[in-house]
Amino acid sequence: MDKALLVWIRVISWTGIFTNIISDRDPKLTSVLWKNLHQLFGTKLFFSTAKYPQTDGLAERMITTLEDVVRRFWKGYNLKLPQDLLRKDLLEIHPTASSFKGMLEKARKHAIKCMEDSCAYSKDRWDRSHVTSDLRVGDLVIVSITNSNKIKGFEFLKDSFAGPFLLKALHG
């Protein structure tokens, strides 16, 4: 009962009571404590797995994404966090929380830099391989039909090009 009261004081008073809880970690939420809490609060627990989204696709996708994020930051992280880190009635920020914030900010800046580098690389590749056309409306053009399968008959009798055609408009 002390644990349930602690959950009520530290978690439920801060987040509120949920009507539905979707979890893919069923052994942790089927303990006597959680059964009593669900009965006390009148909540329902839905079980599913992260790889088979049959309960709620959006929640399952979020669970999978959060698991990936936690796995990437967990390596080398202090496994025994101070308990007062999670208390909401503290006035100052715990040093561990501020270092975690710094780590997240560094990861965000790195992601932005990688996206900018990727855009610059793609633009450079496009600029190198792209040739601007000097066609104008009214020009006569010949169209390659070597890959066209619409024309019936023997291969050696087919023309490679069709035209000339009058260019009426430019698109793109």
Higher pLDDT, 39 or 125: 125
Q: How far is it, in rounded angstroms, from Cα 93 to Cα 12?
A: 21
Per-residue pLDDT for 22 more than 70? no
Q: How far is it, in rounded angstroms, from Cα 63 to Cα 48?
A: 10
Phi and psi at residue 156, in whole multiples of 5°? -70, -15
Collapse the DSSP code of 23 into the 3-class scheme (helix H, G, I; strand E, B; otherwise coil) and give the result. Answer: strand
Q: How far is it, in rounded angstroms, from Cα 28 to Cα 25?
A: 6
* Domain enclosing residue 27, as ranges: 2-75
pLDDT at 120: 92
Residue 27 falls within a domain, yes or no? yes
Kindly list the distances between the CA atom of residue 152 and the CA atoms of 3, 35, 155, 156, 157, in Å, as whole numbers in the listed order.
81, 73, 9, 11, 10
Per-residue pLDDT for 83 more than 60? no
Phi and psi at residue 76, in whole multiples of 5°? 80, 0
Q: pTM (2 decimals)?
A: 0.30
Confidence of residue 93 (pLDDT cuts 50, 70, 90): low
Residue 105 falls within a domain, yes or no? no
- Find the range with the poorest average confidence among 58-67, 69-78, 106-115, 129-138: 69-78
Higher pLDDT, 103 or 158: 103
Residue 131 falls within a domain, yes or no? no
Tell me the two tokens of residue 141: 């053009």
pLDDT at 77: 55
Beta-strand pair 20-23/44-47: parallel
Residue 132 falls within a domain, yes or no? no
Residue 113 falls within a domain, yes or no? no
Q: Is 37 exposed, middle or buried (0-12, 13-18, 19+ CB in 10 A)?
A: buried
In the chain, the number of structural domains is 1
Tell me the two tokens of residue 57: 């696709």
- DSSP character for 153? S
Residue 50 falls within a domain, yes or no? yes
Per-residue pLDDT for 85 more than 90? no
pLDDT (tens digit per residue) in 113-163:
999 999 999 999 988 888 877 888 999 988 888 777 666 666 666 777 888
Confidence of residue 79 (pLDDT cuts 50, 70, 90): low
Residue 63 falls within a domain, yes or no? yes
Higher pLDDT, 129 or 36: 129
Residue 28 falls within a domain, yes or no? yes
Per-residue pLDDT for 24 more than 70? no
Per-residue pLDDT for 26 more than 60? no
